[in-house]
Amino acid sequence: MADQKSERGGILGALGQFAAVIAIVLLTKTVAAEAYYVPSGSMLPSLLIGDQLLVTKFPYGYSRYSLPVPMAPASTERLLGKLPERGDVVVFRLPRDPSQTYVKRVVGLPGDRVQMREGRLVLNGTMLPLRRAGLGQMETDNGVVTAPRYLETLGGREHAIFKLSSDGALDNTREFVVGRDQIFVMGDNRDDSVDSRVSPVAGGVGLVPVENLVGRVDAIIGSWDPIVRHEPVWSWPSGLRLSRFFSRVN
C-alpha cells in the first residue's frame, strides 16, 4: 500500500513539474520574448530567408496578440502600451487574417502622411534621405540577382533597402494618412514586399492596428540557408550563417 502511494505521489510530482515548465514557457513567450522564423525575402537585405528572430514583447506593452494563442477580447488599448518608433522592425498579426504573422519595418505612426514618389519614401511631405551603398545579393522567384543597395534614413537611423527600379507598381502611390491606433509598415525589399501600400482587398496588409503588434525584432539568434535542403543531408551544415548568429537587427 505504501509503495502504491509513493508511486502515485511520484507520478503526480512529475506531472506537476511538467505543468510548471509548460507554464513558465508560456509565461515567457507571453511577457518576455518569442522566436520567429523568416520565410520570405520581403525584408532583404536586413533579414534573410531562414533567419530566426528574437522578438521582445514588452517594448510596446501587451494585447491579446501577445498571447501564444490570442484568446482575449479585442481592444484598442494595450496593457502598458507604447507606440513603436519609426524605423523599428516589428512582428504583427495580419489584420485581414490574424492567423498569419508578418515582419516589416514601421515607417508611419498615427497622424503621419506616407507616400511613395518615383521609388522614394515621402513622410509628412519630406522625401527621406537615400544614399547608394554598393550591391547585394537578392533572392527572387527567378533565382539570386545582384541588386542596388541603398541606405535610407528614418527617425534618425539608417537601414539598408534593395531597390531595382523607380517605376514599379508600388513606386508611385497616393498619400496615405495613418489613423489613430494604427501604423504604416513596409518591407526593406521595396520592389517585392506586400505591405501597407497594398490594401487588404487586394491581398495586402493595409494599415495595421496597434493592437495587432506582437513585438519588436531585436536580434537574429540563428540563421540557416534553406536552399541547402535540396542538397544531400551531409551538406546541410554548410547552410549555417554563423556570422548572423546573435547579431542585432538595425
Nearest alpha-carbon partner for 212 in 2, 39, 64, 49: 64
Active-site residue, selected from the candidate residues 42, 66, 193, 196: 42
Ordered DSSP codes for 73-102: PP-S--BT--PPPTT-EEEEEETTEEEEEE
Helix (H, G, I), strand (E, B) or coil at 188: coil
8 Å CB contact between 122 and 116: yes
H-type alpha helices, 42-168 = none
Q: How many CA atoms lie within 13 A of 203 on its CB side?
A: 2
**Distances in Å between the alpha carbon of 46 and those of 98, 184, 217?**
24, 18, 11
For cell 518576455, name the residue: 32
Task: Give me the catalytic one of 46, 57, 63, 104.
Answer: 104
Active-site residue, 223 included: no
Q: How far apart are CA 25 and CA 194, in angstroms?
A: 32
User: Is 104 considered catalytic here?
Assistant: yes
Identify the CA nearest to 162 among candidates 193, 183, 123: 193
Catalytically active residues, by annotation: 42, 104
